[in-house]
Structure 1
């Protein structure tokens, strides 16, 4: 492990340099997820640094989720999960939520969602179709006074389409965006007559295309839905959120 835990010079803050050295080893997979790090004493000797500098570096690595410190057991390289990445983006979007972010989200949806439906039509399974159909039926039977349940159900349809692509990168990228849609739709359905009915009809057309593996139709029907969402934003949301 000499190539990882070699002695460190003094041109920079020692704790920062220790942190970067360990992070680099994790990124380069010289230290794999679940690997146990040497003890504090051993690390101090390997790096040629004081315990104070080492502990500060370990504290920051732990706070960033790169290592896990288990009392009585030692220090381990953390397992990086998809859920962790999604949570970080969720927090960022929540803190940045305003009219500008909503406009940007709609632009992103217009670019990506039609292609997502195209890929879902190509890769979907019978189980995916059942989940999508169940989602539409749940929306149709939803109490019209329960706006929150309606928007959550609509959101679930979009997430189910993303999952039907079979591509985990799409899920990572879009799930934080979809988590914001209920906040947007709560306003829309309280102010736009017939929006729920339009959405149900659009979902049925998308599902029909996905079921038939008609990639072009899935793309086109999804594009119509997102364009409608953009029109609603232009007419209503901008006035309220500015």
Structure 2
């Protein structure tokens, strides 16, 4: 005699607080609630959802932990819609990298593998407006390379421009998170000669993108990233050899 196997357990329904948080998140991420817009008060949410105040507060805590809501204190305060930044993703990635004992050197290796592919895709999809914005970023870096904060902002705009030019949001998010992990590990300012050389190699990448030449774009990006990796391993070897460390 055979017996029928037990049916798989049904997935457990999420708690009411999670269901409320999901509804609010959908409104924020879907655009019906704009960033900076005040959400209903706790009292109004209690009436709207027909739940206890503690349930609403737990829902808001869940949203706040995901950087989708900021709770402003004081008179006229309350929950305000926000959007998470990629630094939030980078923090989570750091957590998992630390669990597996990954180093910044490991992250650099991944970028060496992926960046030429990104540049190849960018050359196929980039538009003129993006090209001009990236050229503006490089020009700003050249204007005053001694202003390191401004130089870093220009560098970030250029890198982000390459990723956005691919037209693939998933690829952009992954690559920018990896780039931020490496950038944030830098303990000091780069020497002036290194900054100027980086701008010229990035200009080579941009010229290849402007010509819509995928092979050339991949080659120039590969050269730029290999030179960057050599710099890190020559001058920041002790830093990039350390395991990635997650911190609040």
- Is the contact between residue 206 and residue 218 of structure 1 (CA under 8 Å) also seen in structure 2? yes
Per-residue displacement from partner, 1:48-95 (whole Å, max 9, x unpaired)? xxx3763464344443457899xxxxxx9x98x8x4152422554788
- Is the contact between residue 120 and residue 162 of structure 1 (CA under 8 Å) also seen in structure 2? yes
- Is the contact between residue 85 and residue 172 of structure 1 (CA under 8 Å) also seen in structure 2? no
Rounded Cα–Cα distance in structure 2 between residues aligned with 1:183 and 1:57:
33
Looking at secondary structure, tell me which structure has more helix per residue.
1
- CA shift for structure 1 position 103: 2.1
Aligned counterpart, 2:159: 158
- CA shift for structure 1 position 129: 1.7
Per-residue displacement from partner, 1:200-236 (whole Å, max 9, x unpaired)? 2311221121111110110111111111222222222
Aligned counterpart, 2:17: 19
Alignment of 1:117-136 (within 5 A): 117-136=119-138
- Is the contact between residue 139 and residue 200 of structure 1 (CA under 8 Å) also seen in structure 2? yes
Structure 1 gap ranges (5+) = 1-11, 46-50, 70-75
Structure number with larger C-alpha Rg? 1
Aligned counterpart, 1:89: 89
Rounded Cα–Cα distance in structure 2 between residues aligned with 1:138 and 1:23:
42
Structure 2 gap ranges (5+) = 1-11, 34-38, 72-78, 243-248
Rounded Cα–Cα distance in structure 2 between residues aligned with 1:183 and 1:63:
24
Q: What number of residue pairs does the alignment pair up?
A: 214
Deviates more, 1:106-115 or 1:83-92: 83-92
2:140 is aligned, of 112, 115, 138, to: 138
- Is the contact between residue 25 and residue 63 of structure 2 (CA under 8 Å) also seen in structure 1? no
- CA shift for structure 1 position 174: 3.1
Rounded Cα–Cα distance in structure 2 between residues aligned with 1:104 and 1:122:
28
Rounded Cα–Cα distance in structure 2 between residues aligned with 1:127 and 1:33:
25
Matched, 1:173 2:174: yes
**TM-score normalised to structure 2 length:** 0.63
Rounded Cα–Cα distance in structure 1 between residues aligned with 2:164 and 2:234:
31
Alignment of 1:109-124 (within 5 A): 109-124=111-126
The 1:27/1:188 distance shift into structure 2, 3 A limit, reads closer
Rounded Cα–Cα distance in structure 2 between residues aligned with 1:28 and 1:147:
39
Q: Which has the higher contact order (CA 8 A, sep 6+)?
A: 2
Rounded Cα–Cα distance in structure 2 between residues aligned with 1:203 and 1:128:
15
